[in-house]
Amino acid sequence: MTELILALDLLDRKQAARVAESCAPFIDAVKVGYPLVLATGLSIVDDLSGLGLPLIADFKVADIPNTNRLISEAVFSAGFDAIIAHGFVGADAARACVEVAHNHGGAAYIVAEMSHPGATEFFHGGVAERLATLAVSCRADGIIAPATRPDRISRLREIVGEKTIYSPGVGAQGGDLDTVARLVDGVIVGRSIYEAEDPAAEAERLSRIRR
């Protein structure tokens, strides 16, 4: 089964809660990032916790180990179940996020390669492969890999083996749902769902990957 993860990139608390609630039966987790948390505060977690779904904090954490640790503590104390961090800051910094996550019984994922066109400037030429290797050595739970480049997902799968791969970039960014769903453990979808006239109906349509 491939998971469907809703990227809840909205700026309005009530709209975010409404979309998440209506989509809840058709999704496996909710990813919350800077847009929603900066607009509403960390208390948005309280609004979403009643959904009974894992909440993933996408702060792409990228600081020194001590600051990464403090950020991760704040994330898990707020009630999140998982955190996403960058790996380019080095194994010690990434490991700080992983350790805090595991101490809280949560999970940590490392960005191996991003989905937008500009990502090729720095992530290609061996960097994404090194980040995937780092994720394995830091005992991260998985990586983020681009739905816009299925060939790259396959390459990164060779490195991370059975570890989880979550993949954003389906729909609005051009990635094909069915192609990507066969390669990854979870697909992260934002605009295709929350900008749809009927977000729940769109989530239900996309949830065919869960079967």
Where does this chain bind ligand O7M (CB under 6 A)? 7, 9, 33, 58, 60, 84, 111, 114-115, 144, 146, 168-169, 171-173, 188-192
The verdict on whether residue 47 carries a ligand-binding annotation is no
141 is an active site residue: no
The verdict on whether residue 92 carries a ligand-binding annotation is no
Closest CB to ligand O7M among 150 and 169? 169
CB-CB contact of 13 with 44 (8 Å): yes
The CB-nearest residue to ligand O7M is 190
For the bound state, the minimum distance from the C-beta of residue 171 to ligand O7M, rounded and expressed in Å, comes to 5
For the bound state, the minimum distance from the C-beta of residue 150 to ligand O7M, rounded and expressed in Å, comes to 14
**Catalytic one among 58, 81, 141, 163?**
58
d(CA 57, CA 100): 13
63 is an active site residue: yes
Nearest to 141 by CA among 119, 115, 161: 161
The verdict on whether residue 12 carries a ligand-binding annotation is no
The verdict on whether residue 15 carries a ligand-binding annotation is no
Q: Within 13 Å and on the Cβ side, how many CA atoms surround 140?
A: 34
d(CA 62, CA 137): 17
What is the token pair recorded at 163? Answer: 């570890």
70's enclosing H/E stretch is: helix 65-77
For the bound state, the minimum distance from the C-beta of residue 35 to ligand O7M, rounded and expressed in Å, comes to 8
CB-CB contact of 135 with 112 (8 Å): yes
The set of catalytic residues is: 58, 60, 63
